[in-house]
Every structure is written in structure tokens, then in C-alpha cells.
């Protein structure tokens, strides 16, 4: 975390603010007071928000676990970043466009529109987000249809190592399992369906106790659900999964644990009031939010030792 002097709302030394910190990806700012810490979640679309960052604790055995999808349950981040890259290529009219490695923390873990706006600001100044979304969903719809038909990118969705053993162990132990993703329904469900098919695990909707996605995409001629402005790192997806989907009251949050591999997901879990296990392989360290993790793990089976 880097210390800063001020942000849009607060300044160190004024109104009780002791200090401000921001991680390397600068997607949030932490504002420290004598008696509390606030988290300012920034927005590429003009809708920032401020939340309390509560102290969290976890007491095993877990009664519920909140599982991220991309990178944690299914390895697919490289595919979705490829889609973002292809979308930008269409906006530029350059089929040979390639993103830079430094873009990764800004085009993974957040909402589609946040990812696209970042790429527009950097590579297509003045470009249209609406046009980018049209290109994005045209690519997604084509690729999803190809993958579900057994064609397309063969390495797009791969179950995380030991996912089947991990999930069945949780089931046997009576731990409620919630699957949480910032991905819109039409991109998220093919991922987990594909992974469950590969593992011969049946229908994921029947297996998980709750699945929460960022909702349906809003496009001309159809309705949408609010998902583009409230995904990770906002707390609402994880909060809804626990409180509504898994029926875990807020005063039992010490029996709930979240698992994430992305910086946005770590912040989301913490703002929802839960302890977080940071899984290796994502952008937690690169984005500079490692200190927000209560625990770290290199694989799913290692997590079982922590929570059971």
C-alpha cells in the first residue's frame, strides 16, 4: 500500500483523517480514522462509493464458504482478457492489436464495463463504451456458442486443480457453498457448466447452495439487471450470497470464509464483512492488496486444512 495525501473526498489531517493509503492498482483508497477505516471504491464510470472496512475474524469450523469463479474455481481469466483484447482490436480496426502486460490488474476481476472503459481510456481515447459493449457481446456470444458446441478455444475453461475433491469434501462436512462472480450470467454459467461436465459432476445449479452472478446484460430489445455498477470490489455480490442465498445472518459472519484470487474479489469479501483467503495465481500481489487477506493458500486442498 502507498500512502497518499488526499483523494476526491478526504485529506490527511482534516476532519479526523489520520492517513490515506492506496494499493498499486489504485482501484480503492483506505481512509484511516482513530476509530474506523473507510474504503473509497473508485469507478471508471463516474459512480464511486464509500464503505466501512470492518475488522474481520474467522472461527473454524466453517459453516459457509464463498467461492469466486474465475481463477479460483475455473481457470478462465486469460480467455476473458483475450476477449477484452479482441474488443479493443475491433474498436481500433487493427486485428493485430495486443494489450500490454501492465493492463492485467485493470481488466480482470472487475465489471465488463470497467474493463472496457479502462481500455478505451488507454488505447481508444474518445471511444464509445456502447460500441465497445456491442463488440464485446458479439464476440462472447459467438465464442460461447462455439465452446458449448465443442468447438472454439479448447483451453478457455479449465477446472481448478482438485476442484471436485474440494467441493465434495465441503459437502460431506455440511459446509454451505456459494459461488460468486462479477461475470454476467451469459458468460459465467457456461464456465461452470463446462467445468462440471469435465468433472462429471452434473448440474452446478443443483450442486451449489447458491450461485450469484452480476446479472443479465442490458442490451437493446431486452431487460437487464443491475450488475455493471455494483460488482466486485463493491460488497453486494458476496453480501447477497451469504445473507440471502446461504441464510447466514450478519452476526454469524465469523463462521463464513471467502476465497478469492483477484484484488477486486479480496476487497469485496472484506467490505462484506468476511475473512478472506487469498489464493495464489491471480493479481492479488500485483495489485498490492495482499495485506487485506487474512490467510493465503497455494491451492484448494490447502484451504480445507484452514477451515474444517
Concatenated DSSP letters for 185-196? HHHHHHHHHHHH
pTM comes to 0.86
Say if residue 9's pLDDT is above 90. Answer: yes
- What local confidence, expressed as pLDDT, does residue 190 receive? 86
- What local confidence, expressed as pLDDT, does residue 77 receive? 82
| CA 202 vs CA 108, 111, 135, 174, 189: distances in Å | 28, 28, 33, 19, 13
Parallel, antiparallel, or unpaired for β 275-279 and 295-297?
parallel
Say if residue 219's pLDDT is above 80. Answer: no
Say if residue 121's pLDDT is above 90. Answer: yes
- In angstroms, the CA 67 to CA 257 distance is 9
Say if residue 154's pLDDT is above 70. Answer: no
Closest by Cα among 157, 159, 155 to 73: 159
Residue 223: band (very low, low, confident or very high) from pLDDT cuts 50, 70, 90: confident
Q: What tens digit of pLDDT does each residue of 78-103 get? A: 888 999 999 999 999 999 999 999 99
CB neighbours (10 Å) of residue 153? 14
- In angstroms, the CA 47 to CA 27 distance is 13
Say if residue 209's pLDDT is above 80. Answer: yes
- In angstroms, the CA 167 to CA 173 distance is 10
Secondary structure class of 289 (helix, strand, coil):
coil
Whether 282 contacts 77, CB under 8 Å: yes
Residue 145: band (very low, low, confident or very high) from pLDDT cuts 50, 70, 90: confident
Mean pLDDT over 134-145 rounds to 89
Say if residue 45's pLDDT is above 90. Answer: no
- In angstroms, the CA 68 to CA 175 distance is 16
Say if residue 150's pLDDT is above 90. Answer: no
- What local confidence, expressed as pLDDT, does residue 157 receive? 87
64-75+159-307 under CATH 3.30.2130.10, yes or no = no
- What local confidence, expressed as pLDDT, does residue 76 receive? 84
Residue 221: band (very low, low, confident or very high) from pLDDT cuts 50, 70, 90: confident
Whether 89 contacts 82, CB under 8 Å: no
Domain boundaries in the chain?
2-52, 64-75+159-307, 77-148
Give, as one character, the DSSP assignment of residue 107.
S
CB neighbours (10 Å) of residue 274? 27
Secondary-structure breakdown of the chain: helix, strand, coil percentages, each rounded to the nearest 5: 40, 20, 45
Could you report how far apart the first and last alpha carbons of the chain are, in Å?
32
Say if residue 152's pLDDT is above 80. Answer: no
Q: Quick one: what percent of the chain has pLDDT higher than 90? A: 77
Q: What tens digit of pLDDT does each residue of 224-266 get? A: 887 778 889 999 999 999 999 999 999 999 999 999 999 999 9
Burial of 233 (0-12, 13-18, 19+ CB in 10 A): buried
Q: 19-33, 57-71, 147-161, 205-219: lowest mean pLDDT where?
A: 147-161
276's enclosing H/E stretch is strand 275-279
Closest by Cα among 267, 307, 302 to 284: 267
- In angstroms, the CA 235 to CA 237 distance is 6
Closest by Cα among 257, 263, 261 to 288: 263
The number of angstroms, rounded, from the C-alpha of 187 to the middle of its chain's C-alpha atoms is: 13
- What local confidence, expressed as pLDDT, does residue 8 receive? 94
Closest by Cα among 264, 288, 287, 267 to 276: 267
Residue 51: band (very low, low, confident or very high) from pLDDT cuts 50, 70, 90: very high
Higher pLDDT, 219 or 120: 120
Q: What tens digit of pLDDT does each residue of 160-205 get? A: 999 999 999 999 999 999 999 988 888 888 889 889 989 999 999 9
- What local confidence, expressed as pLDDT, does residue 33 receive? 98
3-state secondary structure 14-43: CCCCCEEEECCCCCEEEEECCCCEEEEECC
Residue 143: band (very low, low, confident or very high) from pLDDT cuts 50, 70, 90: confident
Q: What tens digit of pLDDT does each residue of 107-118 get? A: 886 778 889 999
Amino acid at each position: 500500500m502507498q500512502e497518499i495525501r488526499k483523494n476526491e473526498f478526504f485529506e490527511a489531517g482534516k476532519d479526523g483523517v489520520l492517513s490515506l493509503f492506496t494499493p498499486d492498482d489504485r482501484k480503492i483508497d483506505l481512509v484511516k480514522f482513530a476509530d474506523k477505516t473507510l474504503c473509497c471504491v473508485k469507478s471508471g464510470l463516474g459512480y464511486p462509493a464509500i464503505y466501512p472496512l470492518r475488522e474481520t475474524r474467522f472461527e473454524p469450523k466453517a459453516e459457509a464458504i464463498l467461492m469466486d469463479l474465475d481463477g479460483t474455481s475455473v481457470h478462465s481469466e486469460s480467455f476473458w482478457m483475450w476477449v477484452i483484447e479482441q474488443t479493443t482490436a475491433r474498436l481500433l480496426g487493427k486485428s493485430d492489436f495486443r494489450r500490454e502486460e501492465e493492463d492485467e490488474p485493470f481488466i480482470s476481476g472487475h465489471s465488463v464495463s470497467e474493463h472496457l472503459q479502462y481500455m478505451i481510456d488507454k488505447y481508444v481515447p474518445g471511444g464509445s463504451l456502447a460500441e465497445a459493449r456491442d463488440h464485446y457481446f458479439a464476440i462472447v456470444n459467438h465464442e460461447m456458442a462455439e465452446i458449448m458446441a465443442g468447438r472454439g478455444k479448447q483451453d478457455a475453461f479449465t477446472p481448478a486443480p482438485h476442484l471436485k475433491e474440494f467441493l465434495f469434501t465441503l459437502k460431506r462436512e455440511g459446509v454451505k457453498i456459494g459461488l460468486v462472480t462479477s461475470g454476467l450470467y451469459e458468460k459465467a454459467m457456461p464456465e461452470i457448466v463446462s467445468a462440471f461436465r469435465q468433472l462429471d459432476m452434473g448440474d452446478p445449479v443443483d450442486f451449489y447452495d447458491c450461485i450469484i452472478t452480476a446479472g443479465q446484460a442490458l442490451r437493446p430489445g431486452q431487460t437487464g439487471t443491475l450488475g455493471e455498477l455494483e460488482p466486485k470490489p463493491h460488497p453486494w455480490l458476496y453480501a447477497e450470497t451469504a445473507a440471502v442465498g446461504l441464510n447466514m445472518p450478519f452476526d454469524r459472519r465469523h463462521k463464513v470464509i471467502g476465497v478469492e484470487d483477484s484484488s477486486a474479489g479480496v476487497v469485496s469479501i472484506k467490505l462484506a464483512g468476511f475473512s478472506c483467503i487469498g489464493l495464489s495465481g491471480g493479481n492479488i500481489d500485483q495489485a498490492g492488496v495482499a495485506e487485506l487477506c487474512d490467510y493465503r493458500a497455494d491451492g484448494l486442498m490447502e484451504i480445507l486444512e484452514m477451515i474444517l
